[in-house]
């Protein structure tokens, strides 16, 4: 038995069946464009604000891209029972779920670079610390994907997954320091900010793009890693408890 064959084929199947479909590609392009435009207009400033907006737009693109897709791929397959095929495969359960989430992680990373490519035409990106930016993008994609998995496992219908994920996603836009600094939030909201994984990812992105970060990169990335492990473990536990009845 070669588990990597199963892993690779699950990933390729999901990419072909879900992520590389034209509606999803256009979603990946239009969504970051809309966010960039929205905040650009809101800020009322000129092109110099692009570098300040870029980390937030990148983080939001990853968050919405990954959580939306996973709600479909996992919840839909659970609903039509094709997910049982995967549960019957003789590969380790953890590897199976990693395969199932890898497509969303890659989709999230690809989404992240859409605003970067757009920004490259309007601003000088040569000062971005790519050695920090790229790992941060990857870690945010992993954490957001596992958050999406956690949500997908908690519900039984695709529309429920979308609704439930908005419960997490929209507060994260305002609480995680993407566009509004955490220091300016009311005191009672600050603990909530630090309980959300995107706070640490956004901090690294801000640091990598324009140097304004609150915590050391290594601490941010370690905490993000801890969120990834925690969310993945809870999701697996939930699947075993709820789906393998």
Partner 1 sequence: MTKDTHTIEASNLAKRFGDVVAVDSVTFDVRPGELFGFLGPNGAGKTTTINMLTGLARADTGSIRIGGIDCTDRPRAAQHLIGVVPDESNLYPELTGFENLCFCAALYGLGKADRQGRAKELLEGFGLTNAAGRKFSGYSRGMKRKLTIAAGIIHKPEILFLDEPTTGIDVASARQLRQLIADLHRAGTTIFLTTHYIEEAERLCGRIAFIVSGRIVRIDTVEHLIQPVQEKHVVQIACANMPDDIRDKLCGSFPGLEFTTQGQGLIRVESGEPVRVGPLVRFLEEQGGEVAEARRMRPSLEDIFVQITGIEADAMRKEKEKAGGGQ
Residue 120 to residues 50, 125, 127, Cα–Cα distance (Å): 10, 6, 12
CA triple 70-143-56, angle to 5 deg: 100
CB of 105 to partner 1, least distance (A): 20
Which residue, 13 or 42, is less far from partner 1 as judged by CB? 13
Q: Is 22 in the site for partner 1 (CB under 8 A)?
A: no
- Of 44, 85, 121, 183, the one binding partner 1 (CB under 8 A) is 85
State the Cα–Cα distance between residues 202 and 177, nearest whole angstrom. 7
- Of 34, 84, 170, 212, the one binding partner 1 (CB under 8 A) is 84
Which stretch, 41-49, 52-60, 80-88, 118-126, contacts partner 1 (CB under 8 A)? 80-88
Which residue, 99 or 224, is less far from partner 1 as judged by CB? 99
- Of 15, 33, 52, 89, the one binding partner 1 (CB under 8 A) is 89
State the Cα–Cα distance between residues 191 and 14, nearest whole angstrom. 37
Placement of tokens 């590389």 in the chain? 20
State the Cα–Cα distance between residues 102 and 97, nearest whole angstrom. 8
Q: Is 93 in the site for partner 1 (CB under 8 A)?
A: yes
State the Cα–Cα distance between residues 73 and 82, nearest whole angstrom. 11
Binding residues (CB under 8 A) for partner 1: these are 1-3, 5-6, 8-10, 13, 17, 80-82, 84-91, 93, 244-245
């Amino acid at each position: 038995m070669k588990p990597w064959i199963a892993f690779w084929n699950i990933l390729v199947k999901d990419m072909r069946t879900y992520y590389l479909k034209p509606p999803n590609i256009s979603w990946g392009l239009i969504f970051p464009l809309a966010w960039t435009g929205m905040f650009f207009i809101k800020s009322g400033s000129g092109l110099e604000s692009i570098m300040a907006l870029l980390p937030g737009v990148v983080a939001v693109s990853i968050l919405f891209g990954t959580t939306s897709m996973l709600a479909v791929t996992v919840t839909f397959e659970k609903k039509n029972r094709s997910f049982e095929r995967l549960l019957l495969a003789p590969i380790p359960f953890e590897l199976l779920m990693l395969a199932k989430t890898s497509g969303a992680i890659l989709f999230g990373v690809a989404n992240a670079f859409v605003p970067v490519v757009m920004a490259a035409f309007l601003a000088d990106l040569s000062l971005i610390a790519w050695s920090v930016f790229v790992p941060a993008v990857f870690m945010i994609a992993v954490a957001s994907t596992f958050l999406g998995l956690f949500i997908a496992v908690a519900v039984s219908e695709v529309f429920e997954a979308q609704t439930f994920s908005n419960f997490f996603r929209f507060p994260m836009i305002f609480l995680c320091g993407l566009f509004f600094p955490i220091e300016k939030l009311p005191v009672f909201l600050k603990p909530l900010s630090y309980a959300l994984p995107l706070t640490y990812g956004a901090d690294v992105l801000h640091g990598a793009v324009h140097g304004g970060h609150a915590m050391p990169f290594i601490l941010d990335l370690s905490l993000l890693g801890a969120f990834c492990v925690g969310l993945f473990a809870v999701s697996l536990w939930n699947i075993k408890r709820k789906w393998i009845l």
